[in-house]
Structure 1
């Protein structure tokens, strides 16, 4: 009888041990894999294991298939929806006194009660980039002829410490934005031709959205928050940081313009005939897009 008790206790301990290490109770049983399916290499096998093929990501352009252009400090969609973006420089709310916080709350609530249109808040985390301040410090040190040796060594050590601080651990800063949008119906605008219609569409959208910008700037200024309108380049830069957050530290957006990577066509030495031909093709494609958009709007 004692032998059976010992065997039962040993069997229970064995089952408990195999369950705890997540192994099958019997060694000859196949282990179940409930984890995520690994990536499948093109060869199909790696160290005797087979992997499922990973789907190719969607083309980047398909993410913005409904965006027509970024111009006139606005994002324009194919359905004549216009979006304007404002950058907000926030105040240090929690370092203020109770009365100061109360004044900020009143100003912010007053602005919210005044608006009757769509406003969205957008927060963007970016890596802290000290390259520009460091370059300014180096330039000042080199151009200052009256700088003594000890001051120069101190500045040099400060620059090195800043570089080490930035490389040691990724640090972030939060950018705050406001976005507002509106859709304009072409039937509400009277125009003699397509060119006049286009001009009136853009003017009407910019006038209304800029009025909203002025309202936000005046109201939030009383709350000690500065509001600035993002230009077309500023909107493009914000989108660039959104999709290239880590890469944007080394491949800066401003360098893209300096290296002419934003040009519509090649800016190397070309003949005048070739340049005119490229410009004409760009204009023709733009007109074709506008024609398609106009036909879709009329059909709807």
Structure 2
């Protein structure tokens, strides 16, 4: 019996050793040679496919290659297509009674039945930002000198809880928008020059889109749904949060606006010497371009 156990133990040790060494268990089988040559199924790398993994795609350029400008509360495309965007503040539907819910449904259905053009609904999830309410609370506490001690302590603890609540777990809020697209048919517009043509195109697009916006606003206001038209900055704000979802918390769009980073020209105070120097540079460049055109 002991001899059988020793034989079984030796056999087990032999099999375990062969497996660990990745050798064939049966001695009459040859060991497979591992080739260092690349497989024929492996794709050859070309210069065009050699892209760094940490390189961000040029998403903004690809999506907005057809955008011409954002002006007059509209997004204008190169094909003379215009889009007007309005923000929607929804009603707390599930806290209403059955009759009130049916009235809201009827108003919304009537609005959809009256329109014969396309509208697009856009939902955007943003990180909850409590910086402005917290700043207002701090400003109020600093302003009120006669605030009781218990109230000041409660306010300070509430501010700390709100700041930790926002930092610990990312929380989101949903912004709702309605986009009204409109394609201007330039063949129906007659003008004497390009400037008049541009004015007529913009006026036609704005009047039509504003009419559609007013129709939605009046119909949805009856359903207790508030609709507000977005300005140029509002449209840029929506795009800013769409492409800077994580950075929008730290680098707020409001701060970008306050620092005048959206201005086409510098509006800070400058001394007279610098102003004169800039004027001389502009005159020099303009005179150089004029001479080049005359030479051509």
SS at match of 1:271: helix
Structure 2 stretches of 5 or more lacking a match? 1-7, 17-21, 25-30, 35-49, 287-296
Structure (1 or 2) with the larger CA radius of gyration: 2
Distance 1:195 1:185 in 2: 17
Residue in 1 aligned with 2:275?
271
1:198 equivalent to 2:198? Answer yes
Matched residue, 1:71:
71
Deviation of 1:25 (Å): 11
Q: 1:183: how far off? A: 1.1
The residue aligned with 1:233 is 233
**CA distance in structure 2 between the aligned counterparts of 1:188 and 1:273, rounded to whole angstroms:** 48
What is the aligned partner in structure 2 of residue 212 from structure 1? 212
Please give the TM-score of this superposition, normalised by the length of structure 2.
Answer: 0.74
How far is 1:29 from its partner? 8.7
Sort the Cα spacing of 1:141 and 1:193 in 2 relative to 1 into closer, same or farther, 3 A: same
Equivalent runs, 1:141-156 vs 2, <5 Å? 141-156=141-156
Which residue number corresponds to residue 125 of structure 1?
A: 125
Q: Deviations over 1:135-183 (max 9, x none)?
A: 0111111112331111111111111110011011000000000001111
Cα distance change on mapping 1:156 and 1:118 into 2, 3 Å: same
**RMSD over equivalenced CA pairs, Å:** 3.2
Q: In structure 2, do the counterparts of structure 1 residues 272 and 61 end up closer, same or farther at CA, with 3 Å as the change threshold?
A: farther
The whole-number CA distance in structure 1 between the counterparts of 2:185 and 2:277 is 40
Task: Using structure 1 for the length normalisation, give the TM-score.
Answer: 0.73
* Structure 1 residue 232, shift from structure 2 partner: 0.3
Structure 1 stretches lacking a partner, 5+ long: 1-5, 15-23, 31-50, 282-300
Alpha carbons of structure 1 residues 164 and 199: separation in structure 2 relative to 1, 3 Å: same
Please identify, of 261-270 and 224-233, the stretch whose mean Cα deviation from structure 2 is larger: 261-270
Give 2:53's aligned residue. 54
Counterparts of 1:29-178 in structure 2, within 5 Å, are: 53-54=52-53, 56-59=55-58, 60-178=60-178
Deviation at 1:130, TM superposition (A): 0.1
